[in-house]
Structures are given as structure tokens and as C-alpha cells.
Amino acid sequence: MSTRHAGHAHKLYLHTHSPVHALPAHCKLAAVFAFVLLVVATPREAVWAFGLYALLLAAVAAAARVPYGHLLKRMLIEVPFVGFAVLMPFVAEGPYTELGGVPGLSGVSLSVSGLWSAWNILAKGTLGVAASVLLASTTELRELLLGLQKLRLPPLLVQIASFMVRYGDVIADEMRRMRVARLSRGFRATGVRQWGVLAKSAGALFIRSYERGERVHLAMVSRGYTGTMPVLDEAAATRAQWGGAAALPLAALAVCLLGWAL
Amino acid sequence: MHVPDGFFDAPVSAAAGVAAAGAVALSLRGARRELSGGGGAAEPSSAVGGERTAPLAGLVAAFIFAVQMLNFPVAAGTSGHLLGGALAAILVGPFTGVLCVSVVLLMQGLLFADGGLTALGVNIVLMGVVTVVVAYGLLRGLLRVLPRSRGSVTAASFVAALVSVPASAIAFTGLYALGGTADVSLGKVFAAMASVHVLIGIGEAVITAATVGAVISVRPDLVHGARELASGPLKLRTVEVATPGGGAAGTAGGPAPAAATAESAAPAAAPAPAAPRSNRRMWLGGLLATVLCAGVVSFYASASPDGLEKVAADNGIDEKARDHDAAGSPLADYGFADIADARLSGGLAGTIGVGVTLAVGSGVFVAVRRRQPEDAPSGADTGGTTAGTARTGT
């Protein structure tokens, strides 16, 4: 199995060499998780705290040599949710405020708490997405999975996840071939009427995936697989590495405490 | 939609995380059992099960991941995709279903930043556990009542998928009541979520039922939710080619050409009446489900404006709130403003809701059904493909 090769396959990964790339994956996972947890726990009225969080992430991105353009482009996944947040001030409860000062919008009134909610979701969601994108940009897939295992995620779960990402492209290719086959037979999906054909494709895809799973299982059993994967690179993180990874959540902890205190 | 960071407060996120971890741990044990013998009807080996779990569950998770990318066009320009929770539950069983959906969500959160990391527990509970448990429970319950046939499996999966999506929305509202950070009234959240998700659920139900139908017509042993239908091992069924010399392959003695033609006519005739019957059953089941679901949902929806009005009146922001109901989201309020009696207006809205939902549901069914006659010849086509699949598979 070409694990190294597969490790580069995922879309967000950015191959460079930097101190952040060199950190062990489980340190980075723990750091990102702690950071996001602290961000969520920060009171929304402390607007400046979220600015500081953003600065922290920008510093990490600089240290990781991740261009800001890459980061921002990958954060576009959040866009559907921004629409939802924008709607919030119009539907929320509580006292309403008039937009008197803005020309052309003087008749519109917005819910105050709705504005706060929208800000809350936007700020925290954006910071969470940015942190996740940074993690994914600096960590290879294989390392990420091993890191999850080191963080005491059940090995079976990690194995399932690794099978999923390893065969995800295979199954997606299978689906693409079926699509090409449909197209080359003159099939055009225009509406609900074509759902029958598409659902049959989905059914066929399930059968092929399941049967591929059976074949993979037999192939692995015949090569001595007994239900566990050997861990080849058993590298425990050094104290310095943990320290490096802890810089982000510790700084965030300070900001969070300040946010509650002030 | 994946819940991002910051939508729920920290205690609810943490509690949902613990619940999700428990559910995943439980399904890790359950999936081992489900995958050990479930699919291997033709495999008599005493599988320990442990080592079968990872490859099979991994490939099923990859399938769910891929099938979410399959676009189903709705109308000009817009399209939807399968959520897959109900489908996974029906095809591979509840434990494996929860496991696969959870793994998909975990990977989406880590690799694509889709769904917040702190909201992972919430996402797993809502999209994995609730959807799968509701869908599978409904499927098994309905199959106990309905006659043992493939048509009833299809109908039951329709209902299961139809209800599972709004159930997830209701669970979302419940979590929101406990620890939502936004300041939107519960009634509004509920009405908006439920109404949107009933529509999504109809699409999900049609696709799920059709997909399960496609799988069950080829490999009924792979449909975990209806595994008792596939009692025996797989049989090779071939329709003999009508050669002028008489049936050579099937009949050993080959007594008379008349007998051979009769025999070859029998398998050809058998699917023909089966198709309309299963069709009608699916049609009836779907209608029943639509009425049931619309009734239940409109009951709640008609109940929620009362609460909303009460809150609004208490706070003295009545007119403003109502103003914004109409402006903000047309689906949010199920009451009629002109009719004074709240209950009457709610009931009227409910009735109209049932009617609209029925009309939409029937429309979808008519569209699907109109395809069926065209589809009849392509049934043989599917058989051919599946024979090919089976050959590559084993």
C-alpha cells in the first residue's frame, strides 16, 4: 500500500517545510482542538478578543509558510453559513434597533440580540474554519490518522477512517466512470424524472463498494491481516514539540481569560 | 448542513460530544457483529468478524462520501444530494450506519474544515445517531406489519427516510432549546427547520427508496434491513434463449419444446405482474407517509405560533414580531393573521399544509410513476448490468 503517496492526496494539504509542518500530528490536533474550544468559550461581547485570536492564527500561518491567499480560498467552505448568519438579525427576538444612520436603510430595523448572535456565529465559525484549514494544510493525511490514534481514538475507528480516505478516490472514480457511461449513452439529468436512473447508479455504486470491501478484506487476510495495523513510525513527541504546539492554545487561554475578566 | 463552531454553547457541545463518543463506541462493538456474517451468505467460513469490520465499514463510508457528491437535479438549475444516513442504516444496519456516517463527518471536519471541530459531537448526534436510529427503527417496525415482499421493503425505506430527516431537524431544535447561542424563538426555529426538512426529506425518501429498490433487486442479501427476505444463498437465474431446437441448457431431459417455452415464459411473465404491484404498494405507502408526516408536522407547526404569539404578547413586541415573521421567512409562521381564533387559524394552516405537502408528494410520485412504463424494458437491462457486477464481484 502506498501510504506515502496517498498521504499527499487530500486537497487542502500544502507541501512545504516549516516548523509547523514538522510538529507531530497529535500535538497539532490537540492544540487546534483546545484553541477552538477556547474560542467557543469566549464571551461574544469581547469583540477585541476575536481580533487577537485572528492575529494568533495569522502568526501561525506565517510560521507555517501558508500563504494567506491559500488560507482565505480554502475558507470559502463557510460561505453558505454566512448567509444564515446574515439572516439572523431579521428573525431574532428581543429589542429592535433602527438603522437610522445608514442612508437608504432608515426604515429597516434589526434585532439587537440577533446582531450579536450573527456576530457570535460568524466570528467563532470563521476562526474555527481557519484553524481547521491551517491544520489540514500543514498535516499529511496519514499523519493525521496516526495522530488521531495517538490521541486514543479507537484503533478500529482510525482504520475505518483510513480505509475511507484511501478508497474514497477509488469510489469517486468509479462514480465518475458510471457518469461517463451514462453520458455516452445519451443520458441527461434534467429533473426529477431522471432520479430513477441516478438512484440505480447509486445502488450499483453501493454494491460495487461493498464487494470491493469484501475483496480488499480477503486480500488483506491472505497477507496476514488479523484486524490490527502495525504502527511503523512510533515517534513520541518531545517536550519541546509539545511546547511548540502548546503556544497557540496557551496564548488563546490568556485571551479567553482576559475576555471573561474585562 | 453541518453545524459550525459557535452555534451551540460549550456545555451542549461537550455533552453532545460525550453522547457521540458513547454512540460510536457502542456501534464499534455492534458493527463487528453486523459485518461478520451479514453479507456473507455465500461464505460459510466462521468469520471472527473483527478483521472484516475495518475494510467493509471503510468502503461503505467511502461510498457514503461519494454518493453525497452525486447530484440529483430538482428543477432548472437547482439540485440536491443524498444525506445518506437513512440509506446507510437500511443497507448496512444501524451500528455500521452510525459508524460510517460518524467517520465521514470526522473526516469532513478534519480534511475539508466542513463542520466545526467542537460541533463534531452535535453533528454526529444529529446526522448520524438520530437519522440512523429513527430510520432503522421505522423500517423494522413497518416491515413487521407489512407483508414480506420487496415492494414493502421499498415502501418502508421510503417512510423511514422521509421521517428521518425531519426527525433530525426536530433533534436540532431540541439541542437548540438547550444551548443555542442565537436569540431566535424556538417556534420559529422549529417551523423553519421542520418545513424545510420535510421538503428535503421527500427528496431523500424518493432517492433512498429507489436506491434500496435497485440494490434489493440485485443483491437482496446486501440489504441489512431486509435480510430475512434473502433466505437462501444467491441463485443464478437465467432466461433461456428460445432456440428453435428447444431448451438445451435448463431442462435435463428436454422432453418437449412446449414445456421449454412454458418454462421460459414463466420467468418472463413473473416480473411483469410483480412490477405494477410493487409500484402500487410503493405509491400507497408513500401517500400514507405523506399524509401522516404532514399531519404530524402541521400539528406541531400549528401549535408553535401560539407559543410565539404568547411570548410576543408578553414582551409587548407583538406587532413588530409579526411584521418580521412575514418579512423574514415566509415559511416560518403557520398562522393566518386575518382569522382571530388562534386555534382555528392554526388548524386551517395545518389543513392547507397537509394539502400542499400531499400535492408535492403526489407530484413527485406521479413524476416517478410516469417513468415506470419507460423503465420496464430497462429492468432487463439492469439485470444484465447486475449480472456483470456479480461476476466482477466474486
| pLDDT at residue number B250 | 44
Angle between helices B50-67 and B10-37 (to 10 degrees): 120
Query: CB–CB of B25 and A154 under 8 A?
Result: yes
The answer to whether residue B211 is domain-embedded is yes
Cα A146 from Cα B153, distance rounded (Å): 41
Mean pLDDT calculated for residue range B336-365: 49
Instruction: Evaluate whether B54 touches A156 at the Cβ level (below 8 Å).
Output: yes
Q: Which three cell numbers stand for residue A96?
A: 429592535
Reference B150, options B214, B84, B233; nearest CA is: B214
Residue with cell 500544502: A14
Domain boundaries, given as residue ranges, for chain A: 12-148+236-261, 154-221
Query: CB–CB of B113 and A117 under 8 A?
Result: no
B245: enclosing H helix or E strand: none
Return the higher-pLDDT residue of B262 and A157. Answer: A157
Query: CB–CB of A175 and B375 under 8 A?
Result: no
A196 → closest Cβ in B74, B210, B320: B210
Give A233-259 pLDDT, tens digit per residue: 666 778 888 888 888 889 889 888 888
Give B301-311 pLDDT, tens digit per residue: 444 334 333 33
The answer to whether residue B143 is domain-embedded is yes
CA distance A212 to chain B (A): 7
The answer to whether residue B240 is domain-embedded is no
Q: Strand A109-111 and strand B72-75: pairing? A: unpaired
When computed from its CA atoms, the radius of gyration of chain B, rounded to whole angstroms, is 24
Instruction: Flag whether pLDDT at B26 surpasses 70.
Output: yes
Any bridge partners for residue B263, and if so which?
Answer: none
Q: Please identify among residues 128-167 of chain B the ones whose CB lies closer than 8 Å to any CB of chain A.
A: none
Query: CB–CB of B54 and A208 under 8 A?
Result: no
- Give contacts of A11 with chain B, Cβ < 8 Å: 111-112
The answer to whether residue B2 is domain-embedded is no
Cα Dmax for chain A: 75
pLDDT band at residue B117 under the 50/70/90 scheme: confident
Instruction: Evaluate whether B213 touches B150 at the Cβ level (below 8 Å).
Output: yes
| pLDDT at residue number A235 | 67
Residue B105 contacts A where some CB pair is shorter than 8 Å: no
Give B90-109 pLDDT, tens digit per residue: 999 999 999 999 999 998 88
Q: How many CB pairs under 8 A join A and B?
A: 310
- Give contacts of B330 with chain A, Cβ < 8 Å: none
Cα A165 from Cα A178, distance rounded (Å): 20
The answer to whether residue B109 is domain-embedded is yes
The answer to whether residue B101 is domain-embedded is yes
Cα B375 from Cα B381, distance rounded (Å): 10
Query: CB–CB of B54 and A156 under 8 A?
Result: yes
pTM: predicted TM-score of the whole model, two decimal places: 0.70
**Least confident range of B83-97, B202-216, B342-356, B376-390:** B376-390
Mean pLDDT calculated for residue range B55-71: 89
CA distance B67 to chain A (A): 7
For residue A213, the one-letter residue type is: G
- Give contacts of B324 with chain A, Cβ < 8 Å: 90-91, 111
Instruction: Flag whether pLDDT at B359 surpasses 80.
Output: no
> What's the whole-number average pLDDT of chain B?
69
Instruction: Flag whether pLDDT at B18 surpasses 90.
Output: yes
What CATH number does residue B343 fall under? 1.10.1760.20
Residue B279 contacts A where some CB pair is shorter than 8 Å: no
Instruction: State the DSSP code for B69.
Output: T
Instruction: Evaluate whether B57 touches B100 at the Cβ level (below 8 Å).
Output: yes
Q: Strand A96-98 and strand B78-80: pairing? A: unpaired
Question: How many domains does chain B fold into?
Answer: 1
- B87 is in which domain, residue-wise? 10-33+57-229+275-389
Reference B361, options B301, B282, B303, B302; nearest CA is: B282
CA distances from A1 to A5, A162, B9, B353 (A): 9, 12, 42, 55
Query: CB–CB of B58 and A189 under 8 A?
Result: no
Mean pLDDT calculated for residue range B291-303: 46
